[in-house]
């Protein structure tokens, strides 16, 4: 009986080693597309919608943040912030005026930009020494489409882990069956002696 217990523990140790080795190799057995599932589980940090425009004199970066358009304005050649400018923006029939929010920084309340889609914008900039027109396109993503993509990534990650645990469970079941068969055969051999 002592030999039977020793043999079972020896077999159990080997089986656990094989199970551990198999669980490490299981991702390699996944079919096409599943090797990126771990990467898909981590959502990418999305940048706020933005547009950049420049002329020979000025450079502008506009970033959509909620109900406001934040505008960074500087000299194109030197990157020196432009202060004291008047900035008007228009997109079709919609118009807004930006107010100063710091050195080279302006904000415009433009709720009409919250609508998902493509918004071509013309910026009329006036400073003490120049007047310029800058234009660009602001792309506001559809939040429902972004949410659907995020849910698809999460579902893909869940499927990946379920597949991995299914392999581990199947391997554990095989190991258990092998242990039962080995123990039964050893018991039968011991009874014949």
The per-residue DSSP string of 76-109 comes to TTT-PBP-S-EEEEEETTEEEEEEEEETTEEEEE
Say if residue 41's pLDDT is above 80: no
CA nearest to 182, candidates 31, 11, 35: 11
In angstroms, how far apart are the furthest CA atoms of the chain?
108
The average confidence (pLDDT) of the chain is 79
The percentage of the chain sitting over the pLDDT mark of 70, rounded to a whole number, equals 71
pLDDT digits (tens, 9 = 90+) for 10-37: 666 666 666 666 665 555 555 555 445 4
Q: DSSP H helical segments within the chain, as ranges?
A: 2-25, 37-40, 143-192
Could you tell me if 88 and 123 are in contact, meaning their C-beta atoms sit under 8 angstroms apart?
yes
Q: pLDDT tens digits, residue range 43-102?
A: 555 678 999 999 999 999 999 987 899 999 999 999 999 999 999 999 989 999 999 999
- pLDDT band at residue 183 using 50, 70 and 90 as cut-offs: confident
pLDDT digits (tens, 9 = 90+) for 125-142: 999 999 999 999 999 888
Q: Residue 95: CB partners within 8 Å, gap ≥ 6?
A: 88, 89
Q: Interhelix angle for 2-25 vs 143-192, to 10°? A: 160
Q: Give the strand order in the sheet containing 86-91.
A: 50-54, 58-65, 68-75, 105-109, 94-102, 86-91, 117-126, 131-140
Tokens 């991702």 correspond to 27
Spell out the domain ranges in the chain.
2-42+145-192, 50-140
Distance CA 152, CA 112 (A): 30
Q: Are 137 and 121 in contact (CB under 8 A)?
A: yes
Q: What is the DSSP string of 107-121?
A: EEE-GGGGSSEEEEE
Provide the β-strand partners of residue 139: 118
CATH number of 50-140: 2.60.40.10
Whole-Å CA distances, 73 to 24, 39, 124: 53, 37, 12
Q: What are 40's two structure tokens?
A: 């898909």
């Amino acid at each position: 009986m002592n030999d039977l217990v020793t043999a079972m523990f020896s077999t159990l140790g080997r089986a656990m080693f094989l199970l551990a080795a198999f669980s490490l190799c299981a991702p390699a057995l996944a079919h096409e597309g599943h090797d990126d599932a771990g990467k898909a589980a981590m959502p990418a940090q999305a940048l706020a919608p933005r547009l950049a425009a420049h002329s020979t004199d000025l450079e502008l970066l506009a970033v959509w943040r909620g109900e406001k358009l934040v505008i960074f304005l500087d000299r194109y050649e030197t990157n020196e912030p432009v202060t004291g400018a008047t900035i008007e923006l228009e997109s079709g029939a919609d118009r807004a005026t930006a107010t100063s929010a710091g050195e080279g920084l302006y904000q415009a309340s433009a709720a009409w930009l919250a609508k998902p889609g493509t918004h071509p914008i013309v910026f009329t900039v006036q400073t003490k020494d120049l007047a310029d027109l800058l234009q660009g396109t602001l792309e506001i993503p559809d939040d429902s489409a972004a949410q659907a993509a995020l849910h698809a990534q999460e579902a893909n990650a869940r499927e990946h882990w379920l597949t991995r645990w299914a392999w581990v469970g199947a391997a554990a079941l095989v190991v258990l069956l092998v242990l039962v068969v080995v123990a039964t055969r050893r018991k039968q051999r011991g009874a014949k002696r």
